[in-house]
Amino acid sequence: MAKPATLEKHSHHASDVRFASIERYSSVARTVEILSDPWGFLVLRECFFGVRRFEHFQSLLQVPRTTLVERLKKFTLLGLLKKQIPAGGGARHEYRLTDKGRDLYATMIALLAFGDKWLSGDALPPLKLIHKSCGCDCTPHVACSHCHAEIDPRLVHYRDGPGAGKAARLENRKRSRRASDPTVLERVRPCSVARTLQIIGDRWSFLVIREFFYGVRRFDEFQTRLGIATNILADRLHRLVEQGVANKMLYQEGPKRYEYRLTEMGRDLYGPMLVMMHWGDKWLSEGLPPLKLRHRACDHDFHAVIVCDKCGNELEAREMSFVARYSLPAELAAA
């Protein structure tokens, strides 16, 4: 990726950095805001498994009633879910994905594919995906919407889109938090999507990873671009190194200075981020995407799509089935 223009300098003293910073408009960040809420993520995940009724959500997730009410209301207001009476009638409403909600399927599959590849350990992935159109077991990958070639970050050029811009972000507007306990995100089901969100679901971790793809390598560059407190930045970089996403490399002796570079695993996060970007461009940017992408391999503007590794066709939710490699407790499966 070509390196973008440096953010303009601002006058905040280092001690004030954590109270205000300059933040680029980002469709990926807008999408991450929705998925990084642990209870919200679990509700959306269960929707893709076919859960519809309030009581079923509650029995599966064992979530406090008020919390579940809040998340369902939030997603209904955001237009991800719609509340309706079942076709057969009845007093109880169902919650069903709207077109906007169903469009998150590609994002979920991109996150799942990364988790299957890098975060399953020696075990088989929790789900075996089957592409019904070609009848094959499927390992999805992220591709160019024009030529359907798999995306290599080195072959993507970006430029400002009509929605490009920056704004001051006030830290007290919303407290950043670490990713949630994995035992919460994997409640009920082992889940490759949840494991991926352990890496990028925390807002600061996501922003640091995003800056890697803009070519940032050094601690002071991250701090200048993000307006992040030194202790938070040190913690997030340390965690990304521990998780295998980045390497820490000495580039200067006396005093010792280090730079950080993405590993092969870290570079593989590019695909899921582009898929999230496309969803955010479509549904959260009012038709004004902050960035435009061009694929150097085919020399066309593009957006990211998820394709079948066997037939190369774009994957749609209605054309997919799965086999679970785990079992739900009998009382939950029957709920």
CA 323 distance to own-chain centroid: 23
Q: pLDDT band at residue 160, thresholds of 50, 70 and 90?
A: very high
**What pLDDT shows up at residue 186?**
84
Determine the Cα–Cα distance for residues 64 and 47; give it in Å rounded to an integer: 18
**What pLDDT shows up at residue 171?**
52
Asked if the model's pLDDT at residue 222 lies above 80, the reply is yes
Q: In a 10 Å sphere around its CB, with 0-12 CB exposed, 13-18 middle and 19+ buried, how is residue 38 labelled?
A: buried
Asked if the model's pLDDT at residue 334 lies above 80, the reply is no
Question: Higher model confidence: residue 72 or residue 207?
Answer: 72
Across the range 65-82, mean pLDDT stands at 96
Q: In a 10 Å sphere around its CB, with 0-12 CB exposed, 13-18 middle and 19+ buried, how is residue 160 labelled?
A: middle
C-beta separation of 268 from 246 below 8 A: no
**What pLDDT shows up at residue 12?**
34
Q: Name the pTM for this structure.
A: 0.88
DSSP assignment of 165-216:
-EEEEEGGGS---PPPPHHHHTSSS--HHHHHHHHHSSHHHHHHHHHHHTT-
From 264, 273, 275, 267, select the one nearest 305 (Cα to Cα).
275
**What pLDDT shows up at residue 333?**
59
Question: For 24, how many CA atoms within 13 A lie in the half-sphere containing its CB?
Answer: 23
**One-letter identity of residue 319:** E
Q: pLDDT band at residue 9, thresholds of 50, 70 and 90?
A: very low
Determine the Cα–Cα distance for residues 189 and 45; give it in Å rounded to an integer: 10
Contacts of 121 (CB under 8 A, 6+ apart): none
From 141, 142, 112, select the one nearest 128 (Cα to Cα).
112
Determine the Cα–Cα distance for residues 105 and 335; give it in Å rounded to an integer: 24
Across the range 86-92, mean pLDDT stands at 72
List the chain domain ranges.
19-178+273-333
Contacts of 237 (CB under 8 A, 6+ apart): 208, 219, 222, 246, 248, 260
Q: In a 10 Å sphere around its CB, with 0-12 CB exposed, 13-18 middle and 19+ buried, how is residue 130 labelled?
A: middle
- Please provide the size of the chain in residues: 335
- Assign residue 171 a region (left: φ > 0; alpha: ψ between -120 and 50; beta: otherwise): alpha
| Domain 19-178+273-333 sits in CATH 1.10.260.30 | no
Check residue 4 and report its DSSP letter: P
